[in-house]
Amino acid sequence: MTKLRLAIVGAGPAGIYAADILLKAERNFEVSIDLFDHLPAPYGLVRYGVAPDHPRIKGIINALRGVLDSGDIRIFGNVRFGVDVTLADLKKHYNAVIFATGATQDADLNIPGMHLNGSYGAAEFVSWFDGHPDVPRTWPLEGTEIAVIGNGNVALDVSRMLVKHAEDLLSTEIPENVHAGLQASPVTDVHIFGRRGPTSVKFTPLELREIGQLRDVDMIVYDEDFDYDDAARDAVASNKQVFVIDKTLQQWRQRETGSASRRLHLHFFSKPVEVVDDGSGRVGGFRWERTRSDGAGGVVGTGEIREIPVQAVYRAVGYFGSELKDVPFDKKRGVIPNREGQVLRRDPEAGTGGLFNQQMYGVYVTGWIKRGPVGLIGHTKSDAMETIRHLINDLGNWWYPESPSEESIVALLDERGVQYTGLDGWRNLDLHEIALGEAAGRTRVKVVPRDEMVEISRGEG
């Protein structure tokens, strides 16, 4: 019987679901799967993106752990594709590879002043508060007034983490340094800006409602944003999600404010124009243009410019994928070009301007790096199903590896001195974090420094 030796690069939900679906799929060949991740811990953005005060979503890790514990998958953590292993290496040892490397960079926002000190991407801040090993351990939380640009759930996560009192986060898994940083924050006002009106936001109703329940935080919405036109009224009447969002916002309009020590302001119809320099290269203000509905679902500028003083700006305008060595990359969309998960390369005859229209045999993609950084964890499952269907049907086009044995990749990593961590290593780290949590009366306390994670995983600590 044929055996598929499969490498999956990226142990986030997309990579783990792909492995699970393949193992359970109807097929007439055996499989042996190795999952690589450059982090010493699996689960991607579920561990390093989902906010710590969302334990229900973090709980998806339990289901993902069940897949890893099924015994049919090996994991190699702390192994970076493009550095520790290359595409040529994978071709030598596997029949095929699936890239599931996600999207972890901040998308750009091209307005003047974005480079100033005190201007940050949401992804950097999220990585900090979720204890990602590759970001600095301290975060400059010095501003009393902060602007957050964006009207999606990441903007809500960032704003909530900025405005929530640190002691209300103590029950979560946040690392000690994050708790200490948030506790020292002098913040009083967080302002969220979105170009469109309240009926066109990308927030989900649950996350929006949640932010209105924070202790000692007043929700400030502005009456001028609620003068709905026909299109907005239609949206409220016809779309349940918009209806609930509008209801939540309307309730906040009626609330008494003035007693809380912190405020969260929602500014709709506000198009970012400039991050203002305070004269010393630091963020001193935020300038935006008031927009209005164009009657066709979009907005147009009114020419009215407004400004408020702020000492920090966070842009939460989307994530963007990273290019991988020797793998085709669509620089505009930040994804690996593909047809339903089959990776496409440019026609070699057509040069660098050619279309991505030739299947790159043996190479597949799934998750956020396949379709861009939108959608929930659950969506990566349907993504993976599509990719696995093609992988199975393409049996005749898989690679013919020189050294397909399971030991040969281990020998290669050892020869290169890569300090990889396996499934047992993850179990060691997991138990260690849970024990740290127990000692502090919490469910878990995350270990942050990479070398410490690796030492604990490898039993060297």
Ligand X SMILES: Cc1cc2nc3c(=O)[nH]c(=O)nc-3n(C[C@H](O)[C@H](O)[C@H](O)COP(=O)(O)OP(=O)(O)OC[C@H]3O[C@@H](n4cnc5c(N)ncnc54)[C@H](O)[C@@H]3O)c2cc1C
Residue 343 contacts ligand X per CB under 6 A = no
Residue 375 contacts ligand X per CB under 6 A = yes
Which residues on adjacent β-strands are paired with residue 342?
Answer: 339, 364
Residue 422 contacts ligand X per CB under 6 A = no
193 vs 319, which CB is nearer to ligand X? 319
81 vs 320, which CB is nearer to ligand X? 81
Stretch of 6-14, 21-29, 217-225, 234-242 contacting ligand X, by CB under 6 A:
6-14
Residue 74 contacts ligand X per CB under 6 A = no
Judged by CB under 6 A, which of 6, 7, 8, 10 binds ligand X? 10
Judged by CB under 6 A, which of 21, 22, 78, 81 binds ligand X? 81
Q: Report CA-CA distances (Å) from 154 to 108, 266, 319, 429.
A: 15, 15, 10, 28
Q: Minimal distance in Å, beta carbon 239 to ligand X?
A: 20
Residue 98 contacts ligand X per CB under 6 A = no
Residues within window 344-373 making contact with ligand X, judged by CB under 6 A: 367-368
78 vs 200, which CB is nearer to ligand X? 78
Angle among Cα 342, 347, 348 to the nearest 5 degrees reads 120
Residues, the chain = 461
Residue 54 contacts ligand X per CB under 6 A = yes
Residue 100 contacts ligand X per CB under 6 A = yes
> Residue 426 annotated as binding?
no
Residue 14 contacts ligand X per CB under 6 A = yes
Q: What is d(CA 206, CA 155) in angstroms, rounded to the nearest whole number? A: 14
376 vs 411, which CB is nearer to ligand X? 376
Q: Report CA-CA distances (Å) from 174 to 4, 55, 163, 449.
A: 40, 11, 15, 14
Judged by CB under 6 A, which of 157, 225, 289, 386 binds ligand X? 157
Stretch of 24-32, 77-85, 212-220, 421-429 contacting ligand X, by CB under 6 A:
77-85
| Collapsed DSSP state (helix, strand, coil) of residue 342 | strand
> Residue 416 annotated as binding?
no
Residue 80 contacts ligand X per CB under 6 A = yes
Residue 293: count of CB within 10 angstroms of its CB: 20
Judge whether 239 and 286 are in contact, CB under 8 Å.
no
9 vs 61, which CB is nearer to ligand X? 9
- Which residue, judged by CB position, is nearest to ligand X in the bound state? 12
Distant-in-sequence, close-in-space partners of 396: CB < 8 Å, separation ≥ 6:
none
The H or E element that residue 453 is part of is: helix 450-457
Residue 37 contacts ligand X per CB under 6 A = yes
Judged by CB under 6 A, which of 8, 20, 22, 36 binds ligand X? 36
55 vs 461, which CB is nearer to ligand X? 55
Q: Minimal distance in Å, beta carbon 168 to ligand X?
A: 18
Q: What residue type is assigned to position 242 of the chain?
A: V
Closest CA to 436 of 90, 173, 113: 173
Closest CA to 81 of 11, 14, 4: 11
Q: Report CA-CA distances (Å) from 24 to 138, 221, 360, 391.
A: 44, 49, 25, 14
The single residue listed with the structure tokens 């994530």 is 319
Residue 12 contacts ligand X per CB under 6 A = yes
20 vs 218, which CB is nearer to ligand X? 20
> Residue 249 annotated as binding?
no
> Residue 376 annotated as binding?
yes
Stretch of 5-13, 19-27, 349-357, 444-452 contacting ligand X, by CB under 6 A:
5-13
Helices (H) and strands (E) in the chain, counts: 16, 18
Q: Are strands 3-9 and 30-36 parallel, antiparallel or unpaired?
A: parallel
Tell me how many residues contact ligand X (CB under 6 A): 36
Stretch of 33-41, 282-290, 392-400, 421-429 contacting ligand X, by CB under 6 A:
33-41
Closest CA to 352 of 370, 371, 321, 331: 331
> Residue 459 annotated as binding?
no
Q: What is d(CA 112, CA 115) in angstroms, rounded to the nearest whole number? A: 8
Q: What residue type is assigned to position 54 of the chain?
A: H
DSSP symbol at 99: E
Q: Taking the alpha carbons of 330, 332, 333, 334 in that order, is the dihedral positive or negative? A: positive
39 vs 454, which CB is nearer to ligand X? 39
Considering just the CA atoms, what is the radius of gyration of the chain in Å? 24
> Residue 153 annotated as binding?
yes
Tokens of 249: 């916002």
Judge whether 15 and 98 are in contact, CB under 8 Å.
yes
Chain contacts with ligand X (rule: CB under 6 A): 9-15, 36-39, 44-46, 49-50, 54, 57, 80-82, 100-102, 104, 126, 154, 157, 319, 324, 367-368, 375-377, 380
From the annotation, which residues make up the binding site for NADP(+)?
151-154, 195-196, 207, 375
From the annotation, which residues make up the binding site?
14, 45, 151-154, 195-196, 207, 368, 375-377
